[in-house]
């Protein structure tokens, strides 16, 4: 039996716990997800190091999974656009069963190895693409099929599983094993196994974006201000980075389509918007470097 499927010996009377103890137990069990990710930090760092040059060369991030794992991949990819202005076409997701599986289980979809291969192949993967494949068991046929297609194309494959020596981790070019152990509700890998996968996806995609100069210091300066909340955030970030007052920050942001990076360079270098954009282009998007260019 897979470790993630093995009944937990710690809470056999879970259904009899009073609510405070039940809630405390469910929360406490999640800390094992963090510990599992910390133990895999070296493998995660290796994945980021390998992915950055390919993404910088124009590659895409492609997420593949089934059930909870697949939905977590969709979530990570979708959030890259508003957070880092990452192009939609460069963050793609494959979920066993297709889009309808985002909201309801599609019977048998995860067991179709051929469909996994075909779905990934249909994206015409290239060498610079980075394919993140997720499965708590590490042996989901749909995901393994997609892995085969990705490896055939030469794309970088990163397999993320929650069981030791899982085929997904051993057959991918880079494997990340998150040994979260048995679930407090036996077999429900939407719990700490899913939490650990979410942490890893957050870490990998965020680290890649930092390396691609989407962050200045620890500020989210390449965001898309697509609603009132994000417009307020753009103003606050600009003020924080430059020391400008709110009217000045708002005025400059309006001139540069609310692009925080550009506004920072305009305000700190005292240059026109067009020149700020030129400096950022020369600096490959790095605000820190753009501020030093002559």
Helix axes 228-242, 260-269, angle to 10 degrees: 30
Nearest to 219 by CA among 269, 258, 252, 264: 264
What mean pLDDT value characterizes the chain?
96
Q: Worst-scoring range by mean pLDDT, 103-112, 139-148, 251-260?
A: 103-112
pLDDT at 8 over 90: no
Q: Worst-scoring range by mean pLDDT, 62-66, 94-98, 104-108?
A: 104-108
First to last CA, the chain: 63
Q: Worst-scoring range by mean pLDDT, 4-13, 53-62, 66-75, 263-272?
A: 4-13
- For the chain, the domains span 14-210, 215-290
Tell me the CATH number for domain 215-290.
1.10.8.1080
DSSP code for 105: -
Active-site residue list: 79, 110
What number is the average pLDDT over the span 93-98?
96
What is the homologous superfamily of the domain 14-210 according to CATH?
Answer: Glucose-6-phosphate isomerase like protein; domain 1 (3.40.50.10490)
pLDDT in tens, 178-193: 999 999 999 899 999 9
Q: Say if residues 197 and 23 touch (Cβ distance below 8 Å).
A: no
pLDDT in tens, 218-248: 999 999 888 999 999 999 999 999 999 999 9
Q: What per-residue confidence (pLDDT) applies to 106?
A: 87
Q: What per-residue confidence (pLDDT) applies to 5?
A: 84
pLDDT at 25 over 90: yes
At 1, the pLDDT band (50, 70, 90 cuts) reads: confident
Share of residues in the chain with pLDDT > 90 (%): 92
pTM of the full structure: 0.94
Is 65 in a helix, a strand, or coil? strand
The C-alpha atoms of residue 41 and residue 187 are separated, in whole angstroms, by 25
């Amino acid at each position: 039996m897979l470790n993630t499927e093995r009944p937990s010996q710690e809470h056999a009377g879970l259904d009899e716990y009073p609510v405070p103890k039940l809630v405390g137990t469910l929360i406490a069990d999640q800390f094992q997800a963090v510990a599992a990710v910390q133990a895999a930090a070296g493998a995660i760092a290796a994945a980021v190091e390998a992915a950055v040059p390919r993404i910088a060369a124009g590659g895409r991030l492609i997420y593949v999974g089934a059930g909870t794992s697949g939905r977590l991949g969709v979530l990570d990819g979708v959030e890259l656009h508003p957070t880092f202005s990452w192009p939609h076409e460069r963050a793609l997701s494959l979920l066993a069963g297709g889009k309808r599986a985002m909201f309801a289980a599609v019977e048998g979809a995860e067991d179709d190895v051929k469909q996994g291969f075909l779905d990934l192949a249909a994206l015409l993967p290239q060498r610079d693409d980075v394919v993140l494949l997720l499965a708590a068991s590490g042996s989901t046929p749909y995901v393994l099929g997609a892995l085969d297609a990705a490896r055939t194309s030469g794309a970088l494959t990163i397999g993320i599983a929650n069981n030791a020596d899982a085929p997904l981790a051993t057959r991918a070019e880079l494997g990340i094993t998150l040994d979260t152990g048995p679930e407090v509700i036996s077999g429900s890998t939407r719990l700490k196994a899913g939490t650990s996968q979410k942490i890893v996806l957050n870490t990998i995609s965020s680290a890649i974006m930092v390396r691609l100069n989407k962050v200045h210091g620890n500020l989210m300066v390449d965001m898309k201000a697509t609603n009132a909340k994000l417009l307020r955030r753009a103003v606050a970030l600009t003020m924080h980075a430059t020391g400008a007052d709110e009217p000045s920050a708002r005025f400059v942001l309006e001139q540069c389509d609310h692009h925080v990076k550009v506004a920072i360079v305009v305000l700190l270098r005292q240059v026109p918007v067009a020149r700020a954009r030129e400096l950022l282009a020369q600096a490959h998007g790095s605000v820190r470097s753009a501020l030093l260019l002559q």
